[in-house]
Amino acid sequence: MSRLSKEQITFNMPKIPGWKLNQNEIERTFEFEGFKEAISFINQVAEHAEELNHHPDIVLRHNKVSLLLTTQDVGGLTGRDFALAQRINKLLPSKGKAV
């Protein structure tokens, strides 16, 4: 998979509301009622990541989960990052709120 151009990234960002562009990665933080809900969300993210064979960096702080997506092989963003971000966003309505 090839690295996306700046123009392609700009085109794709509106498709993943709540995510922020930070140099060569996209990131988003979610807040949950408690630790168990945050872990449940991480497990669901892991299932989607396995299906796409594309794994995010995950930071857990009690009830907050931060996800960072980039494609290490190409040193930047690819369509895989945006595909996973879209799947993760679909988990949000029943799982927590973005912060």
Structural domains of the chain ordered from first start:
6-98 (3.30.1360.20)
CB neighbourhood size of 96 (10 A): 20
CA distance 13 to 26: 9
| The pLDDT value given to residue 92 | 74
Model confidence pLDDT, tens digit, residues 28-75: 999 999 999 999 999 999 999 999 999 999 999 999 999 999 998 889
Give Cβ neighbours of residue 33 (< 8 Å, ≥ 6 apart): 63, 96
Q: What percent of the chain has pLDDT over 90?
A: 86
Query: CA angle, corner 89, sides to 17 and 66, nearest 5?
Result: 90
DSSP state of 27: E
Model confidence pLDDT, tens digit, residues 2-34: 999 999 999 999 999 999 999 999 999 999 999
